[in-house]
């Protein structure tokens, strides 16, 4: 994704971030191939039409229960059944993904600089933790927050609220937090808490999804300059 001015940050915004919140899928790890493959198998098992590659990719990022209802036209009970089928398929291969170039080094640099990091993902928290642990990245995060298994907490604003609650309970200053993500729901969820968002260009969103962000970055090095300068 890109914006007209990918480097501009309003003069009223601070770059002395007291904490950084990260999305996972499309931001830290390239999980789309595994997710879309499991989605395709799930839809086939349900006897439903399978979208094209772009259609499947649109499922990646937002809460999946919501996507099944909005994109596949399912009722909530149907969507919950589809979600259970999907998880049974996907969870066994969730770690078969890849970390985006430069992101492991960036997380290490941020951690060493003393900036508290929080994961805020709509992916189930147990699976998100497993993925981070698999790549030895969990150690950089003060808190790891994701969706609950029953999806009662899956909207990004709710996940961010829980991440902030956990950080504040540890005495961490969240007054100048920033979100790093790749989809519009990252920016909108953060905005619900007065938190600005930096969008990563290597993710799964479209240029239009960056409209509510304070900037878009095209590399981990550029992101580092936004977060560490």
Q: Which of 108, 66, 92 is nearest to 224 (CA)?
A: 108
Nearest-angstrom CA–CA distance, 103 and 219? 9
Residue with token string 């550029």:
222
> 44: exposed, middle or buried (C-beta count within 10 Å: 0-12, 13-18, 19+)?
exposed
Residue with token string 């930096």:
198
What are the backbone angles phi and psi of residue 120, rounded to the nearest 5°?
-135, 95
Nearest-angstrom CA–CA distance, 217 and 200? 5
23 has catalytic annotation = yes
In sequence order, the β-bridge partners of residue 99 are 29
Q: Within 13 A of 153's CA, how many CA atoms are on the CB side?
A: 15
From the candidates 5, 23, 30, 182, give the one annotated as an active-site residue. 23
Question: Residue 136 in contact with residue 97, Cβ under 8 Å?
Answer: no
Nearest-angstrom CA–CA distance, 1 and 150? 32
Which H/E stretch holds residue 160? helix 156-169
The catalytic residues are 23
């Amino acid at each position: 994704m890109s914006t007209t001015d990918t480097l501009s940050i309003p003069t009223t915004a601070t770059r002395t971030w007291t904490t950084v919140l990260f999305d996972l899928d499309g931001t830290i790890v390239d999980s789309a191939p595994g997710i879309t493959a499991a989605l395709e198998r799930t839809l086939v098992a349900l006897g439903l039409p399978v979208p094209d590659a772009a259609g499947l990719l649109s499922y990646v990022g937002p809460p999946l229960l919501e996507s099944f209802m909005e994109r596949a036209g399912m009722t909530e009970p149907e969507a919950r059944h589809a979600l259970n089928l999907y998880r049974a398929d996907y969870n066994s291969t969730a770690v078969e993904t890849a970390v985006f170039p430069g992101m492991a080094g960036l997380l290490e640099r941020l951690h060493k600089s003393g900036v508290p990091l929080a994961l805020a993902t709509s992916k189930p928290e147990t699976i998100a933790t497993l993925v981070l642990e698999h790549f030895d990245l969990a150690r950089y995060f003060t808190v790891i927050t994701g969706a609950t298994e029953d999806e009662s907490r899956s909207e990004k604003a709710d996940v961010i609220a829980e991440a902030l609650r956990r950080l504040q309970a540890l005495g961490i200053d969240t007054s100048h937090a920033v979100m790093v993500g790749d989809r519009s729901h990252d920016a909108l969820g953060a905005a619900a808490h007065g938190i600005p968002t930096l969008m990563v260009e290597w993710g799964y969103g479209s240029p239009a999804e960056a409209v509510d962000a304070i900037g878009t970055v095209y590399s981990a090095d550029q992101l580092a300059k936004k977060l560490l300068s």
